[in-house]
Amino acid sequence: MRSLTNLLGDINETFWFPPKASSFAEETDSFFMAIMWISVVFFVLIVAAMVYFVMKFRRRPGYRGDSSALHSNTLEITWTVIPTIIVIWIFARGVYGYMDMMTPPAGDTIDINVTAQKWDWQFQYPNGAISDELFIPNERNIRLRMRSIDVLHAFYVPSFRAKSDVVPGRVTTMWFRPIMEGDFDLFCAEYCGDKHSEMIKKQGVHVLDMESYETKLAELAKPPSHPVYHGYWLYKNRGCKACHSLDGKKIVGPSFQGSWGETVQLSTGESIAFDDQYVQESIYKPQAKFRSGYEKASQMPSFEGQLSLEEVMSLTAFMKEMKNEAFIKLVSDEDGLTPEEAKSYGISDEAVAAKDEGSESGGKGDPANEMPAEPNK
C-alpha cells in the first residue's frame, strides 16, 4: 500500500512541484509556470541586452563612444507601461486563485479541529476521535479550524499547495479538497523553537477512500480499555511524545522512564515525591513545579480541559509501568508497543487487538520513526 502510493507520488512529481494532490494545485502550478515564462522572457531580454551592449560598446582601439546624454520619453513610458500591465494581470490572477483558497464551498464540508502545540499536531474529527496524524477522505471538501495553545505555527502540506498560520489567541480556518489518495508530508512552516524542524508528519497526511476513512474514524473513537495501554495510546496521540522520551533521554521535559515513586529535586531546591498527585498537577498546572534541570519545561502548555481525569489516571498507570524493565524493553524498541507485545504482556483487550490490526500495520505513530529518515545516499 505504502510503496504503491510512493510510486504514484513519484510519477506525479515534477522538477518544480510535489504531487498535485489537491484541487488548488492545478491553478497554482500553472500560474507559477506562467509567471516563470514571463520572468524568463524578461530575464533573457535583460541579460541579452547587457551582454550585447558590453560587447558592442566595449572600449577598444578604433571605437569611439559618444558620452552625451540620451533620453527618450517614449522608451521610458513603454518600459513603464508594459510591466505595469503585466503585473496587473499577475495581481488579478493571484487574487482569483486566492479567493478560491479562502472560500470554502458552502455545505458538505468535513470540519476537523486542529490543535498545534510545541511540537505536535492534534486532529479532532466530527465524531470526537482524536489522532496525531491527519486522516481525510478523498474528493471531499475539508475545512480545518486551527488553534495554537502556545506560539505561532503554520500548517503546511506542500502537496496540497495549502498553508495557513496557526495563531495563538485566534482561530484560523483553511480548506482544501484532496484529489488523490496517498500519504503526504505535513510541515510546520512558522518557526516555533527547538523542535520546529521535527514538528512534521512525514507521510502523515493520509488521504483515504471514504470507506477506509469511516473505518479509521470508528477505530480512533474507541480508545483502549486497559489503563496502561490507554496511557501509552494517549502518550502517542496527544502530544506527550514531543517532549518526553521513553528511553530515559532528556528531550525537553523529563523522560517517562523510571521516575515513578522516586523523590525528585525541584528547581526551587525542594524535594518532592513523584506520585499521582505530582503527575496530575504537572499535567494540569505545568508551571507550578519544575524539576531541577528542566526549567525549559516552562514551555509546556496546560492540559486542563483537554485531558479528563480518567485519561490522566491512564497516563499515570502507564508511567508506573515504565519502572518495569520488561515493559520498557517492549515500548522503547524500534516499533514501539505492537498489539502482539501488548497482548503478550497482558494489557491488551479484544477491542484493542482488532483496532490495532489496522492502525499499527500502517507503521504510523512510532516515535522513533517520526524523525527524518536516515540519508540513504
Partner 1 sequence: MSEIADLSALPQEEREARENFLFNTKGFLSWALTLDHKRIGLMYLVGVMSAFFIAGMLALLIRLELMTPTNTYLSNAQYNQVFTLHGAIMVFLFIIPSVPAALGNFLVPVMLGAKDVAFPRLNLSSFYLWVSGAVFFLAAMLYTGLDTGWTFYTPYSTTTQGPVVAATMGVFILGFSSIFTGLNFIVTINTMRPPGMEWFKMPLFLWATYATSIIQVLATPVLGITVLLLAAERILHIGIFDPAYNGDPVTYQHFFWFYSHPAVYIMILPGMGIISELMSVHSHKSIFGYRFVAYSSVAIALFGFLVWGHHMFTSGMANVTTIIFSALTFTVSIPSAIKVFNWLATMYKGTVQLNTPMCYALNFIFLFTIGGLTGLWLGALSTDRPLHDTYFVVAHFHYVMVGGTLVGFLGGVFHWWPKMTGKMFSETWGKISCLLVFLGFNLTFLPQFVLGSRGMPRRYAQYVAEFQELHQMSSYGAFLLGFGLFVALGVFIHSLMAGKKAPPNPWGGATLEWQCTSPPPYYNFLEPPTVNDPYNYKPLAYRDGDRGWEYVHPEAPEVPQSEPEPAQS
Rounded to the nearest whole angstrom, what is the least distance from the CB of residue 43 to partner 1 in the complex?
6
The residue among 187 and 264 lying less far from partner 1, judged by its C-beta, is 187
Q: Which of 217, 173, 230, 183 is nearest to 203 (CA)?
A: 183
Please state the closest distance from residue 133 (CB atom) to partner 1, in A: 15
Q: Which three cell numbers stand for residue 358?
A: 489496522
Decide whether 63 or 269 has the Cβ nearer to partner 1: 63
**361 contacts: CB under 8 Å, gap ≥ 6:** none
Phi and psi dihedrals of 256, rounded to 5?
A: -75, -10
Pick the closer one to partner 1 by CB: 60 or 326.
60
In angstroms, what is the minimal distance from the CB of 264 to partner 1?
21
Q: How far is the CB of 144 from partner 1 (least distance, A)?
A: 13
Residue found by looking up cell 547587457 in the block: 50
Residues linked to residue 113 through DSSP beta bridges, in sequence order: 124, 145
Q: Which is nearer to partner 1, 148 or 282 (CB)?
A: 148
Q: Least distance to partner 1 from the beta carbon of 46, Å?
A: 5
Closest distance to partner 1 from the beta carbon of 2 (Å): 15
CA–CA distance, 65 with 63 (Å, rounded to integer):
6
Please report where in the chains the cell 558620452 appears, as a residue: 67
Cβ proximity to partner 1: between 39 and 271 the closer is 39
The smaller minimum CB distance to partner 1, of residues 271 and 298, is found at: 298
Give CA–CA dist 244/253, Å, rounded: 5
- Angle (CA) 146-135-318 rounded to 5° is 85
- Rounded to whole angstroms, the Cα distance separating 20 from 26 reads 7
222 in helix, strand or coil? coil
Query: Measured from the CB atom, is 21 or 208 closer to partner 1?
Result: 21
Q: Which CB sits closer to partner 1, 66 or 325?
A: 66
Instruction: Provide, rounded to whole angstroms, the least separation between the CB of residue 205 and partner 1.
Output: 12
Q: CB of 3: closest distance to partner 1 in angstroms?
A: 15
Provide, rounded to whole angstroms, the least separation between the CB of residue 318 and partner 1: 27
Q: Exposed, middle or buried, 315 (CB in 10 Å: 0-12/13-18/19+)?
A: buried
**331, 311 contact by CB (below 8 A):** no
Q: With contact defined as beta carbons under 8 Å apart, do 186 and 199 qualify?
A: no
DSSP SS3 for 144: strand
Instruction: Determine the 3-state secondary structure of 147 from DSSP.
Output: strand
The cell numbers describing 10, all together, are 513519484
Could you write out the DSSP letters of every residue in 94-124?
A: HHHHHHHHH-PPSS-EEEEEEEEETTEEEEE
Q: Please say which residue, 43 or 270, places its beta carbon nearer to partner 1.
A: 43
